[in-house]
Amino acid sequence: MPFWKASALTTRYDRLKELMDFWSMLLATATIPVVKTHRIRTVSLNFAVGLRYALRPIETVFCGSPINCSPPCSSFVVDLRRDCRDSLAGDVGGKDGLKNLHGGHDSISHVLIASNPYRYVVELDLESVSLPGIQSDNTGYDECIKDCDKAVEKDRKLRPGKEQLEKVSTGSRQERLVLLALLLLCTPSPLMCMCSPQSCDQSVGERGLSLKLTVWIGGNPVEGNVETELESLEIERRVCYLATKGIKITDRLLGEESQKAMEFEFRRRDYGADHESHLLPRSRTQKHPLSSPIASRQHQMKTVRDNDPPDFFDPLRGLDVNASAEDKVEEEEEADTSLSTEAVTQELTKEWKSLKRILIQRFPVSKVISFSPISNVITKGFKVETPSAQSHLEETGSEKTSLEETAKVMDQQEYLAKVRELIDGITKAWEAEDRVTSLKLSIKVTKLLMDTTVLQFYPTVFVVVTDMLDMVGDMVWERIKEKAEHDVDGTIICTLPNDFQASDICLEARETCYNWFCKVGSVRELLPRIYLELAILPCWRFLINQPREVLDRLVMMVRGLADPLASLYCRLYMVHRMQKLGFCRSGYLIKCVKDIEDVLAPILVGKDGCSYITDEKKLLFNLMEPAIEYIMKCLLLTGRQENNVLGILEELGFGRNKSQPSDNSSHVSILLHHLLKALPSEIVSSQAMEILHMIKCSNDCSFSQVLNYRLLGNRLCEGRSQEGFLSSIVNEIMQAASQYQTLYDYLRIMDAYVDLLLQNKMENHLDALLDDIVTLARDKFLSEEEQASLQSIILKLLSHFEDLQKVLSLNHFIEILDLMSGTSKKSVNMHLLSMGTRNGCICDSTTVQLLFEVSQGLYDATDFVNIKDDDNRQTSHLISRFVEMVDYGAERERQLLFLAECRGAFSGIHELKETLVRSSNTLAVKAGKKHINFVKSCLAFSEVTIPSVTVPTKQINLYLETAEVALLGGLISHTDGLVMSAVECLEDVAPTDGLKSIDADSMASVVCNLCSLLVMVPGNPEKGVLEILKSIFSATCSSSWAMSRLKVKILCAIISLLSTLAQDNLPYRSANPEIIGNDLLFFGDSSYKNELVSWSQLVVGELVDAIEQESSQTARGNIALEACNCISSALVMNEKVSQLCLRLLETAKGCLGAADRYLEATKQSLHL
Amino acid sequence: MTTVTVKLSRSNRIYRSSEPVEGKIVIKSPNSISHQAIRLSVNGSVNLQVRGGSAGVIESFYGVIKPIQIVKKTIEVRSSGRIPPGTTEIPFSVNLREPGESIAEKFYETFHGTNINIQYLLTADIPRGYLHKPLSATMEFIIESGRVDLPESPLPPEMVIFYITQDTQRHPLLPEIKTGGFRVTGKLATQCSLQDPLSGELTVEASSVPITSIDIHLLRVESIIVGERIVTETSLIQSTQIADGDVCRKMTLPIYVLLPRLLMCPSIFAGPFSVEFKVCITISFKSKLAKAQPKSDPTAPRLWMALERLPLELVRTKRDQFSC
């Protein structure tokens, strides 16, 4: 082993041993007589050498902070000094590891471990060294110098740009010495290789030579120096001898390498050139391709708004549209309808559809229903009788049901099926031109609506029956229209325009039409009579132009229905059909609403005069709600269409209070509620006081007053509220709310006003509100509902303020937070957390403390171990994000401490562990090399944390990341440890989690990732350079999770890695310049290359086996080609390799067929 | 198979007595038919009959009373000859009343009642000699009073105001109804054009016992003089419910009944018979007895019902039915 080479590798324990061996050999074979007068005082070579194993006990002696080296790194110093024997002994003792160093080599007790443990000094007594052959004559020396010249010349050719070296060329002794020194530098040892002399500052004195050199190590210029202090020519010769000997030995070794006819040989790669050649041309662009100019978007918005498509109702823009409609009213007064009739009709048609859906969905029916005899149409079944055989009385359906019939029990679905059957009968009869039967069946079906005994079922029946009625109404309409347009013979008389007049209709058609009304009018029972007339209501247009009287009468007729539910639903249908008739005026609707009020009044009061709510009533109001809502909507829409909303309000009793404040005219709350809901927001804003007063007056059991207060608040939020009276409204509301005494009601009401307060910046009121809450909630355990309301208020506050600080500074906010518990607390906490982490880093320590507590609260409230749902995932995500966002800035230790605290506090959150590791890694990188101890503690933290990550792929990834960080910090021993942990983890995965759903694909990519990392990590000769590779290889081969396809992928990666490692220049290296890659470390080391080659042989063998094992044909073909490509790019195409490739191609051909394009392409690239 | 039908020019078959009845006789025949002459006869009569009801046993024994002839005439639409195979349409036009011609009876409007039937028939006869069966077809047409004899429209609104209380009832009531009391008021047009609906309004002002239903019944009263006696038959034509359940108090409910065609006609006071109409308002109260009662005449006085009968005079007005 050549000395210089060896010295470069002394960073390794075993290399050091080799060095020692060399010296002992040298000493043993010394034949030169000791020359006492001339001696080399010192030759110290101070070079920056990235020392590995920084923290391993045995190597502590090598590393540490630099002492006498200009670059800030560990140094290795070889001191050649005389008379140091004495100083050796004392310091060696105690270092266990060093005993191994010179165990058995007494003659080299010249090894000194200086008192400073970071400096490793090898001392040799040159007086005892005698060099052969130099002593006698000068020829040997001259030859030696010639060699030196040659070497320099060669070097100059190989490394252009070093012209300054040529200046020192001629024969003077000093110059030769310089050359000698340069020669030393130029010997092809890795150490020297990485030092390319840049500037050379020579000072050759009487007794010595000193060269100051700037060298490059890993891309960074580093100062170094070579100093020799010479005393005689003899010594000079010895040095020279050493140098030449070194060269010779190297040459011999290289020769041996070339002689070994390798079966495999790695291709030489020029990564720089490859990169250049494959780089796509790039050009700068001015704007981001995804960004669109804001101006055009605004324009787009404008056009959309201008069009105002009536058929498209965007719920998000709905208010806006209304507002603009209202604006238009204000602007142009002559335009009588701001809402076109069609728009209203269309919207109401839509509403009707959704209403039907709501009715069916909202009131699902219990399974079994008992029916009173009225619905015996259903239970009896039906038969179609011949109409002529019946007397008139029977024909009009005034049959009496016999009372003896017992109620039958029937399934709901069965019931509906029978109804549908009946409805089918209607259409069939109609198609068969048997309209009388059709009508009779319709009457029968309609009679079902008379039965309100099963309240919950009523809406469903209503929907089914009204669908039928709509259908019948349409059929009648079509028939009469047909009659009006066509002759008896079918010839067209005229085509009716949409807005035809009654006078356009021929007598015949009108008579038929009137006949229908007569038929329907002869039904005895009121309810079916009304419904059927409503069904054919549009047909009145054939008879009269202004069906005012008809509608007036119908509105009044409904009053005859005493049952509140039946009458309400009947009114609902009436409103719907009025729309169809196209003659819906607010007057009728107001009458309807008033009638509803009259019907509801006695229910509210109850028989004994006091109003209390029973379950039955509750259900009743519940059932009524959708109908009332629809009617109110319809009323307000009509009102807006007529531009008379205020008029409607007046009709309904608004403003009545203004003139007579004593008049306590109360309204039914449920009506008031839906009226308020349907009112345009402008009206709500302008009439807020009125409305508030009405709500105050109406307090009955049909609807909660609290909710009405709430609704007012919500509606006020929608509109542009005038600030003037807003504060007085809020004052009144707060007064009203506090009268409830219970916190729940108070919270529910005020919840609706929080937004209003926030929007209008009414801080005083907000403070008062928070005060009230604290006062009301003091010393109380909050119920679940109260929690929910409080939660809503808090969330509103949170969403209003951008900055968490502002919320925290609100009066009592923390106090109120403490009131919360359970799920609402959790929800609030989540919002707090997400808000806290929204605006970038969290630097304020009190905020961090608060959020930490919040997180802890969240964590305690969640069972992370047993339950895994979305909610938990969100929580853990939030906490992780919080931890990620915390930034203590320069206080790194504190942050690391915080991370440790988090690890302890949130041990159940798996996601967090990743975050912790990444945060600590980030910290380490940020700290940089200056704070190497901190970096170490960060790494230690990561190393401890990673094993608790459960998902193997994540764990390995984290190991690799941390390893990279360690590498960046120059801590090679850490890197090795982490990489080894990753590999162990990989080994563990395979047997235990084989069948678990580990993502094998991602596992494979992790392994590939590991391979790419290994390019940068210097090999560990202590354990064998390819130790890690071997482990990966064996883990892959034995793994149960890796399918053949993935195995091939990994093996290809290994082959690529081997090929890369064999290159003289690695494609990339660690960002830390102190880390030298394997290319330098093992430069010219034939055993290293041999090992690489032999391993590649092994891997290739395994690869071929893995391909054979793949069961799927296509997959096998593809992986064979993949492997072939990999091999061809990694290895020189000698005979063996090409045979191998051909075999693989054969396999691929067998699997994929000869025409496969991948196969073609591969063949082409191989030039086979 | 040869078929003969009489097809009228108007689909509703309504004619005034002053108008000619027009139409065509449609003969469908696969082969040619020879006939002796095609004759069309118009026959209008009032058929009186006493059966059941309030008629006594003896009266019912009399059976059918001799009908009263209103019109009977026969015209020949085609003299004897042959009808070609296929569809042959023979148009006709019959004047019911020749100008200046005096007829024995007034042209009463068509009416189909229980005891009284006023009917107008159009019969086509095709005698075909001895060997063949004569062909014939009959079609009813409806007579409405001609414009000439009608009173001027519109009728003066003749509204009758009625009160129904426990004290107006002539039949016994349940004690709770009697003591609790009730009061229903309203008004009704008692003279009514046949083209118009019967209209009015009704308000329940008070009732201690819950109401189950309020109905409007149309009654017809047919009277026939049989010998020395007048046999009167009252029958229900149509019931119309205007209130279902215990309706709100002091809320006006509309009374609106479309008069059924054919079953009603202008009130007639002829010598041997008369047709009159009545309206009966019934208020049914909630009672257990009502449920136990089997199906029966809804206008009969019951313990749980309050009644009010009002006369109804029906007239035919000049106004067009569907004036716009």
Interchain CB distance below 8 Å, A560 and B321: no
Angle at which helix A892-905 crosses helix A910-927, to 10 degrees, equals 170
Query: Which residues are CB-contacts of B24 (< 8 A; sequence separation ≥ 6)?
Result: B6, B7, B89, B90, B91, B92
The helix (run of H) or strand (run of E) holding residue A223 is: strand A220-229
Nearest residue, CB atoms, B241 vs list A525, A544, A563: A525
Q: Evaluate whether residue A774 is within a structural domain.
A: yes
Q: Which residue on chain A is closest to B114 by alpha carbon?
A: A391
Q: List chain B residues with CB under 8 Å of A503.
A: 324
Which chain B residues are within 8 Å of A480, Cβ to Cβ? Answer: none
Measure A868 CA to nearest chain B CA, in Å. 58
pLDDT, one tens digit per residue, over B261-297 is 777 888 888 888 899 999 999 999 988 887 776 667 7
A627 backbone φψ class: left, alpha, beta (φ>0; ψ -120 to 50): alpha
Closest CA to B262 of B194, B164, B189: B194
Determine, yes or no, domain membership for A730: no
pLDDT, residue B151, reads 57
> Cα–Cα distance between A960 and A977 in angstroms, integer?
11
In a domain, A46, yes or no: yes
In a domain, A716, yes or no: no
When scoring A405, A525, A542, A551 by the number of chain B Cβ atoms within 10 A, the one with the most, hence best to mutate, is A525
| Cβ–Cβ under 8 Å, residues A1072 and A929 | yes
- Nearest Cα of chain A lies from the Cα of B142 at a distance, in angstroms, of 15
ipTM: 0.88
Chain A: nearest CA to B202, how far in angstroms?
10
Quick check: A450 and B12 CB within 8 A? no
Distance CA A1050, CA A211 (A): 49
Say how many C-beta atoms besides its own lie within 10 A of residue B135's C-beta: 20
Judge if A108 and A186 occupy the same domain. Answer: no
Per-residue burial over A165-192, b if 16 or more Cβ lie within 10 Å, else e, is beebeeeeeebbbbbbbbbbbbbbbbbb
| B243 with A560: Cβ contact below 8 A | yes
* Element spanning B256, H or E: strand B252-257
DSSP class of residue B79 equals E
Instruction: Name the residue facing A511 among B12, B246, B258 (closest C-beta).
Output: B12
Distance CA A216, CA A218 (A): 6
Distance from the Cα of A496 to chain B's closest Cα (Å) equals 17
DSSP state of A962: H
Which 1018-1057 residues of chain A touch chain B by CB within 8 A? none
Residue B189 contacts A, CB cutoff 8 Å: no
Q: Is the separation of the CB atoms in A68 and A77 below 8 Å?
A: yes
Q: Which residue range forms the structural domain that includes residue A37?
A: 3-128
pLDDT tens, residue by residue, B46-100: 988 876 555 555 555 556 678 888 888 888 888 888 888 888 889 998 888 776 6
Residue with tokens 């490793």: A120
List chain A residues with CB under 8 Å of B294: 402-403
| Residue B258: DSSP 8-state | P
Q: Are residues A68 and A157 in the same domain?
A: no
Q: B140 pairs with which residues across the strands?
A: B121
Structure tokens at A942: 């990561």
Work out the widest C-alpha separation in chain A, in whole angstroms: 154
Cβ contacts of A521 on chain B, cutoff 8 Å:
197, 240, 256-258
Q: Kindly state whether residues A70 and A192 are assigned to the same domain.
A: no
C-alpha torsion angle, residues A790, A796, A801, A807 (rounded to 10): 0
Asked whether the beta carbons of residue B324 and residue A508 sit closer than 8 angstroms, the reply is no
Q: For residues A180 and A120, state if they share a domain.
A: no
The size of chain B, in residues, is 324
- Side chain identity at residue A303, one-letter code: T
Measured in angstroms, the CA of B292 and the nearest CA of chain A are apart by 8
Residues A370, A509 within the same domain: yes
Distance from CA of A542 to the nearest CA of B (A): 10
A501/B contact by beta carbon, under 8 A? yes
Per-residue pLDDT at A606: 60
The two beta strands, B305-315 and B191-193, are: parallel
Token pair 């609402």 in the structure block, residue: A824
| Interchain CB distance below 8 Å, A402 and B215 | no
CATH architecture of B3-146: Sandwich (2.60)
Asked if A97 and A177 sit in the same domain, the reply is no
Inform me whether the C-beta atom of residue A543 falls under 8 Å from chain B C-beta atoms: yes
Apex A423 CA angle, A420 and A424, nearest 5: 90
- Window B:13-32, CB contacts with A under 8 Å: none
The segments of chain A whose pLDDT lies below 70 read 1-263, 289, 291-341, 365-410, 606-613, 654-666, 721-724, 864-869, 990-998, 1021-1022, 1083-1084, 1168
C-alpha dihedral sign at A738, A741, A747, A752: negative
Chain A residues in contact with B197 (beta carbon < 8 A): 521
Q: For residues A945 and A955, what is the distance between their CA atoms, to the nearest angstrom?
A: 10
Query: What whole-number distance in Å separates Cα of residue A154 and Cα of residue B110?
Result: 140
Put simply, whether B288 touches A (Cβ < 8 Å) is no
Beta-carbon contacts of A144 under 8 Å, excluding residues fewer than 6 positions away, are A134, A237, A240, A241, A243, A244
Q: Which of A257, A277, A294 is the last residue of a domain?
A: A257
Q: Phi first, then psi: what are they for A44, rounded to 5°?
A: -110, 130
Query: Is A38 inside a domain boundary?
Result: yes
Strands (E), A353-449: 368-371, 408-411
| Interchain CB contacts (distance < 8 Å): A and B | 98
> Distance between CA atoms of A185 and A454, rounded to whole angstroms?
104
Residue-range domain boundaries for chain B: 3-146, 159-315
The DSSP string of A142-191 is: HHHHHHHHHHHHHHHHHSTT-THHHHS-SS-HHHHHHHHHHHHHHSSSHH
Q: A209 and A154 in one domain?
A: yes
Examine the domain organization and report whether A62 and A157 are in the same domain: no
Q: Which helix (H) or strand (E) holds A226?
A: strand A220-229
Distance from A405 to chain B by nearest Cα, in Å? Answer: 12
Q: Per the omega criterion (within 30 degrees of 0), is the bond before B154 cis?
A: yes
Q: Are A254 and A58 in contact (CB under 8 A)?
A: no
Is A1107 inside any structural domain? no
B267 Cβ contact partners less than 8 Å away, ≥ 6 residues apart: B274, B275, B276, B277, B312, B313, B314, B315
Task: Identify all chain A residues contacting B244, using CB atoms and an 8 Å cutoff.
Answer: 450, 525-527, 560-563
B59-65: Cβ within 8 A, 24+ apart: B59/B226, B59/B229, B59/B231, B62/B226, B62/B227, B65/B224, B65/B226
Sequence-separated contacts (24+) of A941-944 with Cβ below 8 Å:
A941/A896, A941/A899, A941/A900, A941/A916, A942/A917, A943/A974, A943/A977, A943/A978, A943/A981
Helix axes A870-885, A822-836, angle to 10 degrees: 40
Tokens of A695: 């709500």
Between positions 254 and 283 of B, the ones with CB within 8 A of A are: 254, 256-258, 260-261, 263
Q: What sign has the CA pseudo-torsion A230, A232, A235, A239?
A: positive
Q: Which two tokens stand for residue A906?
A: 């949130």
Q: Does B91 touch chain A (CB under 8 A)?
A: no
The residue of chain B nearest to residue A530, with distances taken between CA atoms, is: B242
Residue A547 near residue A541, CB atoms below 8 Å: yes
Does A248 lie in the same domain as A388? no
Nearest CA in chain B to A404: B292
CA-nearest of A498, A539, A544, A483 to A516 is A539
| Residue at A1150 is within a domain | no
Of B239, B252, B235, B145, which is closest to residue B193 (Cα–Cα)? B145
B164 — pLDDT class (breaks 50, 70, 90): very high
The CATH label, of 3.40.50.300, 2.40.160.10, 3.40.50.720, 2.60.40.640, for the domain at B159-315 is 2.60.40.640
**Nearest residue to B310 (alpha-carbon basis) of B174, B192, B156:** B192
Where would I find the H helices in B209-314? 288-292
Q: Which of A633, A636, A632 is nearest to A647 (CA)?
A: A636
Cβ contact, residue pair A562, B246, below 8 Å: yes
Inter-chain contact B322–A510, Cβ cutoff 8 Å?
yes
A354: closest CA of chain B, how far (Å): 30
CB–CB contact A598 B248 (8 Å) = yes
Burial of residue B310 (CB within 10 Å: 0-12, 13-18, 19+) is: middle
Cβ contact B263–A400 (<8 Å):
no
Identify the helix (H) or strand (E) that includes residue B141. Answer: strand B135-144
Interface of B with A in 156-185 (CB under 8 A): none
Residues of A in contact with B201 (CB under 8 A): 556
Give the pLDDT confidence score for residue B186 in this predicted structure: 93
> Of A1032, A1070, A1067, A1034, whose CA–CA distance to A1053 is shortest?
A1032
Q: Is A604 on the interface with B (CB under 8 A)?
A: no
Categorise residue A228: left if φ over 0, alpha if ψ from -120 to 50, beta otherwise: beta
Instruction: Tokens 């089918």: give the residue.
Output: A424
Inter-chain touch A556–B252, beta carbons under 8 Å = yes
Q: Which of B216, B248, B262 to mutate to test the interface with A (most CBs of A within 10 A)?
A: B248
The residue in chain B having the minimum alpha-carbon distance to the alpha carbon of residue A554 is B254
The confidence band for B32, taking pLDDT boundaries of 50, 70 and 90, is confident
Q: Tell me whether residue A394 is in a domain.
A: yes
Q: Tokens 């149309």 identify what position?
A: B218
B89 touches chain A (CB under 8 A): no
**Alpha carbon of B205 to those of A724, B16, B143, B163, B304: distances in Å?**
49, 46, 44, 10, 18
Of B237, B253, B295, the CB nearest to A556: B253
Which residues on chain A are in Cβ contact (under 8 Å) with B324?
501-503, 544-545
> How far is the C-alpha of B278 from the C-alpha of B299, rounded, in Å?
11
> Please, is A1005 exposed, middle or buried when counting C-beta atoms within 10 Å of its C-beta (0-12, 13-18, 19+)?
middle
Return the pLDDT at B162: 92
pLDDT tens per residue across span A457-475: 888 889 989 999 999 999 9
B204 at interface of A, judged by CB pairs closer than 8 A: no
Instruction: Indicate the number of domains in chain A.
Output: 4
Nearest by CB to B244, from A392, A396, A526: name it: A526
Q: Do B324 and A522 touch (CB under 8 A)?
A: no
Residue of B nearest to A526 (CA): B241
> Does the CB of A227 have a partner CB in chain B at under 8 Å?
no
If asked whether residues A557 and A434 sit together in one domain, one would say yes
What is the model's pLDDT at position B287?
A: 85
Nearest Cα neighbor of A640 from A335, A243, A260, A992 is: A335
Alpha carbon distance, N-terminus to C-terminus of chain B: 47
